Structures are given as C-alpha cells and as structure tokens.
Amino acid sequence: MEMVPVLLKAGKRVVDLSADYRLKDVKIYEKFYQVKHKDKAHLTESVYGLPELYRTKIKNAKLVANPGCYPTASILALAPLLALGLADPGSIIIDAKSGVTGAGRKIAEGFLFSEINEDFKAYKVNMHQHAPEIDQELSKLAGKKIKVTFVPHLLPINRGILATIYAKKAKNVKRKRQSLTDTYKKFYKKEPFVRIREEGQMPRIKDVVHTNFCDIGIKEDAQGAIIVAAIDNLLKGASGQAVQNLNIMCGFSEYTALL
C-alpha cells in the first residue's frame, strides 16, 4: 500500500500480491493484520484477482488484489454451491492444510526443520487472517452474510494446499436432477485452470504442485457434501495466479507462461 499509489499515479497497472487491497472493510483489515491502512482511496477500485469470479473486471482493472492461497482454494471449492444456493451458508467448515512456504520465508523457531519435520498441527484456529477474505467473497456469492469455520494446519512439506470442506445442503433445495460433480463441471466449463474430478475421486497435492491448476473432488451424501480442493500455494495460490491475472489484463492467452 506504500508502492501502489505511486505506481498507479505513474500510470502503471498493478497486480498486488500482498493482502492490502483484498479486504473491502478497512476495520477487518486493520484488526487481522494489526497495521493501519495507508491507502483507503484505492480500496474501492481494486478488483479481487480471482479470474474465475472476476475475469471481466480484471480485464480493465488498474489495481488487482491477488487472492491469498487459502482463499483461492476455498472459494473455488465453494463458489458453485453458494452461487447456486445449494449449500446452507451457516454450515460451512474448511479444514485446510498447507505446506510451509505458505508462511513465506520467516526466520523463526517455529519454521526450523526440526520443528516441522515429522510433525503436524493446527494453528490460528478460527482466527486466521484469511478467514475474513473467504467470508467476504462467499458472502458476495451467496448474497448474504457468511462466516465460515476455518482451521488451517501446517504440513511437513514444501508446497501445496489441500482443503477439505464440509457443507450441508440448503434446506429448500429440491430433489436435484444432476450430481454436484456435474454441476461443478458445468460451472467451471470454460475455466483453463480448474479441473473437476469424477464423482468421489479426490485430488491430492502431488496432482497440482508445480502447476497453476486447482483440482476439485466432490463426495455427496444425504446431508450435504465433502469437497476437497488442491492447489500449489506458490502458483495458483500466489505468483501463478498473478501471471494469470496479468495475462487477462494484457489480452494474452491465459495459459501464457503457465503451462
């Protein structure tokens, strides 16, 4: 937020990898990031850089706020359910697991090899700074206020996120005519970087690492669905998505430099 106003003033278009322009509500930003926002002026015009939801706006955007890694996986996994009113918005639980590069390159005791290796833990249980970002976007999709339960965990691997998501069926949903898997396939039909697995087939981190893909698998039951989404946190969850946004902004093929 210190560089961005300078760049915009100079007539540049910006894809911002930081969290500074993702949250529209400054109070929530300041609470979760524990820092004063210095450029509220550009908050309104920034476009949330998830191409699957905002492609048209990204095309002409001056400022794109590139999404966080957990939100990318979580929102893509839930967008069809909420946009189509298929899930109970109050029921959503996201149990997410990330490799250590998710936290950047912090030099702290908690990130030493012998602290991470052969271990696994939950952290920031229901208080991670990515939760309000997920809430904001899912609320927009659902057309009503959503607050998810979000528990991140730290995996002893270098890269990759896998989110296991639990959602109950919306109460008023009638007997459906197609499987959720088919609904998802249709929803993401034209998306170059979202791949929907066959019913009951779940993606694993190996499937997406070193790629810009988000792979999604769905398992339905009487009460709702379990959705598993996997991305590479450094690509679709960060710089890969930034390149995808840049491609859209510049009118390049969306695959450029990503295949």
Q: Three-class SS of residue 216? A: strand
Is residue 198 at the binding interface for a copy of itself, with CB under 8 A as the rule? no
Shortest Å, Cβ 156 to a copy of itself:
6
Does residue number 115 form part of the binding site for a copy of itself (CB under 8 A)?
yes
Residue 160 touching a copy of itself (CB under 8 A)? yes
Among 143, 204, 252, 259, contact with a copy of itself (rule: CB under 8 A):
204
CA–CA separation, 44 vs 197, rounded Å?
36
Would you count residue 64 as binding a copy of itself (CB under 8 A)?
no
Burial of 244 (0-12, 13-18, 19+ CB in 10 A): buried
Question: At closest approach, how far in Å is the CB of 107 from a copy of itself?
Answer: 5
Given 4, 50, 65, 69, which residue is catalytic?
69
The DSSP-derived string for 10-45 is TT--EEE-SSTTT-S-HHHHHHHH-S--S-GGGTTT
Q: Are 152 and 122 in contact (CB under 8 A)?
A: yes
Q: Indicate if 69 belongs to the active site.
A: yes
130 forms part of the interface with a copy of itself (CB under 8 A): no
51 CB neighbour count, 10 Å cutoff: 22
155 near a copy of itself, judged by CB under 8 A: yes
In whole angstroms, how close is the CB of 8 to a copy of itself at the nearest point?
Answer: 33
Tokens found for residue 176: 């459906």
Cβ nearer to a copy of itself, comparing 95 with 182: 95
Neighbour-count burial for 150-181, b at 16+ CB within 10 Å, e otherwise: bbbebbeeebbbbbbbbbebbeeeeeeeeebb
177 touching a copy of itself, by CB under 8 A:
no
Kindly state whether residue 243 participates in binding a copy of itself, applying the rule CB under 8 A.
no
Beta bridge partners of 230: 162, 215
Residues in touch with a copy of itself (CB under 8 A)? 93, 95, 97, 100-101, 105, 107-109, 111-123, 125-126, 149, 151, 153, 155-158, 160, 162, 164, 166, 200, 202-206, 209-210, 219, 221, 226, 228
Q: Which residues are designated catalytic? A: 69
